[in-house]
Amino acid sequence: MARYIGPVCRQCRREGMKLFLKGARCFSEKCAIEKRNFPPGQHGKDRKPKIVGYGLQLREKQKAKRFYGVGEIQFRNLFEKAVRQKGVTGENLLSMLERRLDNIVHKIGFGTSRAMARQFVRHGHIAVNGHKVDIPSYILRPNDVVEVREKSKQNSAIQGAIEATAHLPAPNWIEVDRENLKARVLSQPKREDLVQIKLEEQLIVELYSK
């Protein structure tokens, strides 16, 4: 599977907004958007294209993919699952993205960024309902319990992430026990609870429905 390994700040600049890909740096004056809020490249500063129609739909899809760190094939598969579910397709898609294990580990403060949370999951530091799960794309359901495994609770990187995110509130659809490094999914997130950035999911639905 293709994986982007370049400078992540370029992705924020390409979308013209913060995608919060670098944890604490995104909230500081070092954030690329604060210093160079124009597309990357030699002519990025001078180029001001008018984006309409397909371009708008494509940008929304790319924005969502980059924000959640999901590849094209994974994203397309999630969309097809969202179509088969009852309810609004766009909201179903966002709900599944929000309930990915790597995203929830980040949301509850066990990783300062989704990339860090994804690495913790892949390295086997996270358990779901008492069983080790090392698949970042694992989708959690209501009443699932996520926790740092006992042997990983003293991991310096995890401890550092927990200290760095101590001031951040947890989503209201997740109950967090920071003392025991554990959290429980209370319910599926509602639309108003979804996504930290401005995203028009209907444009993504329109793009894939052509």
CATH assignment at residue 57: 1.10.1050.10
Nearest to 90 by CA among 157, 98, 153: 98
The per-residue pLDDT string of the chain (210 residues; one tens digit each, 9 = 90 and over) reads 466 666 666 666 666 666 666 666 655 666 666 566 656 665 556 566 667 788 889 988 988 988 888 889 999 999 999 999 998 999 999 999 999 999 999 999 898 888 899 999 999 999 999 999 999 999 999 999 999 999 999 999 999 999 988 888 888 899 999 889 999 999 988 888 766 678 889 999 999 887
Q: What pLDDT, on the 0 to 100 scale, is given for residue 185?
A: 95
Same domain assignment for residues 68 and 121: no
User: Are residues 134 and 162 located together in one domain of the fold?
Assistant: yes
**The domain that contains 148 carries what CATH number?**
3.10.290.10
Residues 104 and 93 in one domain: no
Instruction: Give domain status of residue 1, yes or no.
Output: no
Residues 87, 117, single domain; the answer is no
The reply to whether 157 and 204 lie within a common domain is: no
Claim to verify: residue 112 and residue 71 sit in the same structural domain? no
Q: What domain range includes position 155?
A: 100-187
- Compute the distance between CA of residue 65 and CA of residue 79 in angstroms, rounded to an integer: 12
* Same structural domain, 76 and 109: no
In a domain, 154, yes or no: yes
Do 169 and 129 fall within a single domain?
yes
Report the domain count for the chain.
2
- The answer on 146 and 166 residing in a single domain is yes
Q: What is the pTM of this model?
A: 0.81
